[in-house]
Structure 1
Amino acid sequence: MGVSISSPTDAQKPRSFWPQRNRIVIMVLFGFVILFFLLDITLGSVRIPLKEVARIVFEGESENRAWLYIVQKIRLPKAITAILVGCGLSVSGLQMQTLFRNPLSGPAELGITAGAGLGVAVVMLGGGGSASLYAIRELGVSGSWLLVLMASLGAALVLLLVLLIAGRLRDNVVLLIVGVMVGTITVSLISIWQYFSQPEQLQEYLLWTFGSLGGVVQSHLYVLSGVVIVGLLLAFVSSKALNALLLGENYARSMGLTVGRSRLIILLSTSLLTGSITAFCGPIGFVGIAVPHITRSLLGTSDHRILIPTTCLVGTILLLVCDSIAQLPGTGAVLPINIVTSLLGAPVVIWIIVSRNNLRSSFS
């Protein structure tokens, strides 16, 4: 790839950080977001003309009451969820790649998603039959906040553990392996819990692990939206700190950056984003690792003031496309979203490894 995330060349230049080329890319991406947003709402087991979909979305009216209900109550919340998931996981991956200076870092790869899953398991598998995901969601906003809180705490604990280990390691490849091992330990703890759980709880938790964008009902979408927006705002606030951290902690300190506070903000942002999304949608892999690299290739920059908003757009497009594919147009079946993101994201990871013949020297 043309841009290494270890050298923020144009981030240090006094000229405008929004060159004409990047503005054109942003405009094109916005167009694709609108296109795939409408396409995602149009596709489904019930065929609704695109013209009617646009009318319902922008005017809130339709002569067909069934179409109005399907779009407003089912498809529109799912498409909005795809936007939130695409933004949140992509920005989380971008922050992890910068913080650890490793191109293969991401919420799933470092075990952060597994930590969020452990928090959900504590709620779903640790409270008896009354703690099923359906029962929790029936509690309304309080149940939603419980899921988000536990998932975010689980993600934060794993991320904090990886950060502590990172302080003792200088090899990014070894650190990645440690992150995978921490995730494996977390998954093992969940498996032990599953072994002693009730069959009905186990079935519901296994279904949750496949990942789904359609499980977020409209009343709980406000909770997910609020948490993701806070997490994204924290990421935007950290953009200058992330630029400084690209050249290492010593350089960041020489620029007057308080590294400990910056790490804490990044940790909080990533935990909120990964925890809330995992709580409601299940573990969704490869988005956090793939999208930042696609964005850097499109823009040719490592300036996070540009990368963060553009990463949100690219992540949104990817999730909308994946959700459209998952619906298997022409059939009534719907694939788990995690399967589709893995099929599209895994080739990008292979491309990263092949294009960087020596990962160790790229980030030393």
Structure 2
Amino acid sequence: MKSKSIILLIFFALLAFTWVNIGLGSVSISQSALFKILFTQEEVNSTWSYIIWEYRLPKAVTAILVGGALGVSGMLMQTLFRNPLAGPYVLGLSSGASLGVAILILGGSLFGGLLGTLIFSKWALVIFSSLGSLVVLLAILTTAIKIKDSMALLIIGLMFASLTGAVVSVLSYFSPASNLQQYIFWSFGSLGNLNWQEVGVLFTFFIIGSVVCLFCLKNLNALLLGENYAKSLGVNIKQNRFLVILSTSVLAGSVTAFAGPIAFIGLAVPHIIRQVIKTNNHFILMPSVLFGGAIIMLICDTIAQLPGSEYTLPINAITSIFGAPIVIWLLIKKQKITF
């Protein structure tokens, strides 16, 4: 089957899983009622309408944006570093966001005053998370200009992650249990806390990061054969590396800011898609990974909802439980991941 046909099938699968995700939850809503609420002006149960338009639909759109952004980010990092274990957070962006949130939540009890009052602001977590990612991003970009070796840049990113993790540990040690619990809840990740305004902001960052990514795709195809070969084709390695890091930072950083750190998706989705579509052409991989990441995120969110139950499981736990066995199975079946 041609790659374009597979991409089209993945897209229709995305639409199907979106419908399933919206239709399932703690409140049972029939398929006919769901159709009327979404596509007709016919009056239906007002409570059901509120649940669909103000909770389930924003959450489904958030899952699509989060899954797509992390999938594309993972693809970019794996190609840039030519490392199948690289993910969207390998540069320390997630750790930087975690540090920003830790300063807000855990540091609020230590420093008091303004930070203590900001904890209860809805946008405070987003702002501090974004600032934390931005600080790490600026440090990485500054380093990328001076360092030629991509593997050295990868190690530096891991060191940034280790450093910020150590600061978070110190803040956690001195924080009261209530603040520590709030920080832990944030670290679980969540897709259901965004209203339409916040989804719109996340979508804006998603578009910006995706557009930057489009300028990298041709050079990434050349980079698969090595940096020396890419240079011989006229690829500006430093400029390409800058664009890849910028795109990943915008995509993964915005996701972390609005939904918290989401594990597994960025690491595994590119590998899964490469097993479905036998190509390394990034012009084909990008839409496939985007749609595939969105589908897997929707599936994980549907499972996390525990349909028919009032409980919701942490999305981070579901992504790992659902995804790790798939990757292990693919490795055993194929013996190696083509890259």
For the aligned pair, the TM-score class normalised by the smaller chain equals: 0.7 to 0.9
- Mean Cα displacement is larger for which, 182-191 or 41-50? 182-191
Q: Secondary structure at the match of 1:47?
A: coil
- Cα deviations by residue, 1:191-249 (Å, 9 ceiling, x for unpaired): 21222335443222111001110111222111111111111111122111211211222
Q: Where do 5+ consecutive residues of structure 1 fail to align?
A: 1-19, 138-142
Which position in structure 2 is the counterpart of 1:135? Answer: 121
Distance 1:165 1:301, change over 3 A: farther
- Deviation of 1:131 after TM superposition, in Å, equals 2.4
Report if the CA contact (8 A) 1:93-1:289 is conserved.
yes
Report if the CA contact (8 A) 2:71-2:290 is conserved.
yes
Report if the CA contact (8 A) 2:91-2:158 is conserved.
yes
Which position in structure 2 is the counterpart of 1:85? Answer: 66
Report if the CA contact (8 A) 2:101-2:125 is conserved.
no
Percent identity over the alignment is: 44
Counterpart of 1:223, as a letter, is V
Match of 1:70 among 30, 41, 51: 51
Counterpart of 1:79, as a letter, is A
Q: Secondary structure at the match of 2:10?
A: helix
Which position in structure 2 is the counterpart of 1:14? Answer: none
Output aligned runs, 1:203-222, within 5 Å.
Answer: 203-222=181-200
Match of 1:250 among 204, 216, 228: 228
Residue 315 of structure 2 is aligned to residue 329 of structure 1: no
Which position in structure 2 is the counterpart of 1:190? Answer: 168
CA distance in 2, matches of 1:215, 1:232: 24
Residue 326 of structure 2 is aligned to residue 340 of structure 1: no
- Mean Cα displacement is larger for which, 21-30 or 107-116? 107-116
State the aligned residue count. Answer: 333
Q: Where do 5+ consecutive residues of structure 2 fail to align?
A: 109-114
Which position in structure 2 is the counterpart of 1:152? Answer: 133
- Cα deviations by residue, 1:88-121 (Å, 9 ceiling, x for unpaired): 1000000000000001110245543223322333
Distance 1:187 1:355, change over 3 A: farther
Residue 261 of structure 2 is aligned to residue 274 of structure 1: no
Report if the CA contact (8 A) 2:94-2:133 is conserved.
no
Q: Secondary structure at the match of 1:135?
A: coil
Report if the CA contact (8 A) 1:151-1:279 is conserved.
no
Report if the CA contact (8 A) 2:104-2:125 is conserved.
no
Which position in structure 2 is the counterpart of 1:291? Answer: 269
Output aligned runs, 1:1-364, within 5 Å.
Answer: 21-59=2-40, 62-109=43-90, 111-126=92-107, 128-132=115-119, 134-137=120-123, 143=124, 146-147=127-128, 149-157=130-138, 159-160=140-141, 167=148, 182-351=160-329
Report if the CA contact (8 A) 1:111-1:183 is conserved.
yes
CA distance in 2, matches of 1:226, 1:91: 16
CA distance in 1, matches of 2:331, 2:158: 16
Report the TM-score, using the length of structure 1 for normalisation.
0.82
Counterpart of 2:3, as a letter, is N
Counterpart of 1:299, as a letter, is I
CA distance in 2, matches of 1:214, 1:261: 37
Distance 1:90 1:120, change over 3 A: same
Distance 1:223 1:145, change over 3 A: farther
Distance 1:44 1:145, change over 3 A: closer
- Deviation of 1:39 after TM superposition, in Å, equals 0.8
Counterpart of 2:49, as a letter, is L
Report the TM-score, using the length of structure 2 for normalisation.
0.87
CA distance in 2, matches of 1:252, 1:304: 15
Counterpart of 1:130, as a letter, is T
Q: Secondary structure at the match of 1:340?
A: helix
